[in-house]
Amino acid sequence: MSEFSPSRPARLRRSVLSVPAINRRALDKLSSLDCDAVIFDLEDSVSPEKKAEARENLRAFFAATPLLGRERIIRINALSSNFGADDLALVVELEPDAVLLPKVDEPQDVTGVSDRLAEADAPEDLRIWAMIETPRGILNAAAIAEAGRTAGSRLDCFVVGLNDLRKETGVPPQPGRSYLVPWLMQVVLAVSAYGLEAIDSVFNDFKNAGEFEAECGQGHSMGFAGKMLIHPNQIEAANRHFGPDEAAIAEAEAIISAFAEPGAETLNVVNLGGRMVERLHLVQAERLVHKARLIEQRHGAVVAPRTDA
């Protein structure tokens, strides 16, 4: 399925800010922030006795605040918990862009929710995001991604959760994430094989700007579409590192122009300034330029260059 299909439109996901649904002050600030997407968290950041209040906060927020141009995702509690069914009912009621499922371990975790959303007549463009944050989730990443591309499935994106994964495996938090890189790349490979996207894990020490910048550069180089954030101070760096720079945009536009030349419509390879460019690069170029235009539309400004190039 094409990335530009109506049910899976291209999205900006450089900066994905997680906000506890119980925190009304944080919710009130969202309209002034430059993040690409917001995860409204009903799970880990909300204590059991506050779950109902958090759901009411989201009802009020969605009624008053459209957050135009930004993706809205609600992270629910596991359906096996005492809160998951009410959370999913709220998702059907509010119709966000996506529902984020915690601790997805196997394909049935996704397909089961797809079936429940279909039974509730939820809009087809209400997508599913999957938290990959357990050893089983990492091991089954490819199978989960494959199942998410079957007819009727709504899977659109993976989010890596390293806090839980570290806890279950005993791998300590270290700069560079050297012992975690193989698992991170396994997730990127899985989503790439099935036309999905992956969001890199949170960086907990939000006051450590240097290490956060380095981790953003690493995540971008790995192939992640963006980064999950826990503080507004992290938005600017994530947007810069995961966004296209001016040189990349110019090259993409040149590739598109080359394939648009008379006679090139039947070619799989064209000569671009002495370099052979394949048609597969045209798809990548169109995707990059489309996202650059989305950034320009929201900001009305030239895209800022990355510093990690």
Per the annotation, where are the binding residues? 75, 133, 164
CA-closest candidate to residue 116, choices 88, 149, 77: 88
Which residues are paired to 270 by β-bridges? 277
Q: List residues forming the annotated binding site for Mg(2+).
A: 133, 164
DSSP annotation of 28 reads H
Q: How far apart are CA 190 and CA 203, in angstroms?
A: 22
Q: List residues forming the annotated binding site for substrate.
A: 75, 133
Number of CB atoms found within 10 A of residue 72's CB: 20
Q: CA dist 156 to 7, 161, 189, 276, 304, Å?
A: 10, 16, 15, 32, 27
The secondary structure of 162-197 as a DSSP string is HHHHHHHH-PPP-TT-TTTHHHHHHHHHHHHHTT-E
CA-closest candidate to residue 204, choices 177, 168, 240: 177
DSSP annotation of 128 reads E
The 8 Å CB, 24+ separation contacts for 287-292 are 287/3, 287/10, 288/244, 288/248, 288/249, 288/252, 289/249, 289/252, 289/253, 289/256, 290/4, 290/10, 291/10, 291/12, 291/243, 291/244, 292/244, 292/249, 292/252
